[in-house]
Chains A and B, each alone.
Chain A
Amino acid sequence: MNRRTALVCGVLLVLAILLPLPPLRIYPIVGIDLVCFALFAVSLDLLFGYVGLLSFGQAMFWGGGGYVTAILLSHTHLDAVLVVVLAVLYAVVLAAIVGAIAVRRSGIYFAMVTLGIAMIESFTAFQFTDLTGGENGLPLDNRGHYFGFPIENDVVFYYVVVVLVALGVWFALRLVGSPFGGVLQAMRENEQRLVALGYRVNRYKMAVFTISGGLAGFAGALYALGNRLAGLDMVDWHTSGAVVMMTVLGGIGTIVGPIVGAGLFESLDYFVSKTPIGGETNLVMGTIFGLCVLLFRRGIVGELLILMGRRAKN
């Protein structure tokens, strides 16, 4: 992690801590959504930004984690900490299987294949109404007990989520800074050369896909706990699309960018829905995203980091 990234991280963390306090006073549930989506976007960045694999089915891990959490909490008496661990485990196993299939293709095919597989889960969640509640989703009465303690206060839970998400982001940053991360980036730049050097690229792709799925599942589990609900929209492909938009908007390959992207996307979405446009927020989000793809493909933070770098040199 270089100093510029560290600086952005610090600013974001301070901002996250200040959000529910005056003068910002963000409604804590909205804050939880925002922070969870941030980690979700980071999970996608690991794949898209660092390996060049665009997953258009990332919602299957996010939603899968959410559903497993909700199902286990409502049907069993397990401790919520264990439930979250199991939800992540589910996402990891699912990602390992999907990864094994999807890495056989790359580029646009990879996007289409992940999208298709995600549809299987989404339809399954829709069909098995006994377990998932179908269209109504699966609401929870409470957030369960954490090592025996309940956390029903939204503000307290928000800070718990902030700490956990910060750990997740730290993990992602460590990962991309590690030798493993170096291989990933090399793979994005020149896959043939790595093959020639004797690297088994598909294994690396599968590994990062699995890690990314696990992080998304973790974020999804926290999201479901925060909202006390796992719904069909969590597994819907539009959610996969939204997280792609957040990641690209913030800046792929930066880890911190997607956090900013998620924050901007969610807050913009919230404000636009209050204007006469109403529910048709995609009109605005799509336009901004389209302009981003056309004009500043490095994303907001990507451009910012370069700007900061230039200034540091002068």
Chain B
Amino acid sequence: MLRVVNFAHGTMYMLGAFATYYGAQLFHLPFYAALIAAPIVVGLFGMLLETTLLRRLYGLDPLYNLLLTFALALVIEDLMRLLAGAMGSPYAVPDALSGIANLGFTLYPVYKLFVIVVSLVICALVWWIVERSPIGARIRAATENPVLVRAFGINTRALVTWTFGCGVALAALAGVLAAPSTNVQPSMGDAIIIYAFAIVVIGGLGSVLGSIVAGFGLGLLQAIGGIVWAPISTTLIFIAMVLVIIVRPAGLFGRPEGSR
């Protein structure tokens, strides 16, 4: 949306998971509280980064922002490694969500079901805010033509900061959700960011719906690919990306580059 590609996004996801872990360890924070607290804390941290560092580079080629966030990702990841160790720590699934649900046609872990429902709700909410609400209209306008929007008396700087913060908070929320099902470790953000990039390229940058569709579609594709021929499941997403770029360079739901 903001035409800032955040290499540190995976790192924020990792921080979300760690915030959950440390919240439980140090303050006995229950999982549901972490679901709200961790994204807020990490989101504020993201806003701090945006105002102190990223903002300085807005006038330049967006590539420099990519490079800076890449540097941030490296630094934060290594810091966490020094603090928490590289091995990672397990985080227990909350009692109420553990166990297995009988869906009639198949058995499924309750926690995974919970994650699916929460992410669907969040996705719908984000899509509505960005595409339909007045705030979303302002954000889209501010990326389209910041000068004009500023002339209308809207503080675009603050808008950008808040949007960035919200994006970071969402990444952190994903981290919180992932904490119980994966090992919480510093390199967990590393793996996910490249997948996220591929998803965004496929969906079309700046298109929330595109990313959602591509994200769920590729999750499905990967699962099916894994059944058909296991070694291909990890590469399938990137092969899909190549195909999409050949057929539709702007991404499935993206507008052509010229009209941005």
Contact = CB atoms under 8 A, between A and B. Distances in A.
Contact of A112 (B5, B57, B68, B78): B5
A119 B194 CA distance: 9
Interface in B230-260: 231, 234-235, 238-239, 241-242, 245-246, 249, 257
Interface string A30-41: 000000000000
Interface string A100-118: 0110111111011101110
Contact of A116 (B72, B73, B231, B242): B242
A81 interface: no
A297 B200 CA distance: 28
Contacts of B5: 108, 111-112
A107 B74 contact: no
A120 B249 contact: no
B66 A54 contact: yes
Contact of B78 (A124, A282, A294): A282
Contacts, number: 114
A223 interface: no
A282 B75 CA distance: 6
Q: Interface extent on A, as a size class?
A: 35 or more
Contacts of A248: 67
Interface of A: 52, 54, 101-102, 104-109, 111-113, 115-117, 119-120, 123-124, 127, 237, 241, 244-245, 248, 277, 280-283, 285-287, 289-290, 293-294, 297
Interface of B: 3, 5, 53, 56-57, 60-64, 66-68, 70-75, 77-79, 81-82, 194, 197-198, 200-201, 205, 231, 234-235, 238-239, 241-242, 245-246, 249, 257
29 contacts: A54-B66, A101-B245, A101-B246, A107-B61, A112-B197, A112-B200, A112-B201, A113-B241, A115-B197, A116-B198, A117-B238, A117-B241, A119-B198, A119-B235, A120-B242, A241-B70, A244-B70, A245-B71, A248-B67, A277-B82, A280-B81, A282-B78, A283-B74, A283-B75, A283-B78, A285-B74, A286-B71, A290-B68, A294-B57
The 10 A-B pairs at the shortest CB distance, nearest first, are namely A286-B74, A290-B71, A286-B75, A283-B78, A282-B74, A280-B78, A104-B249, A112-B197, A127-B231, A286-B71
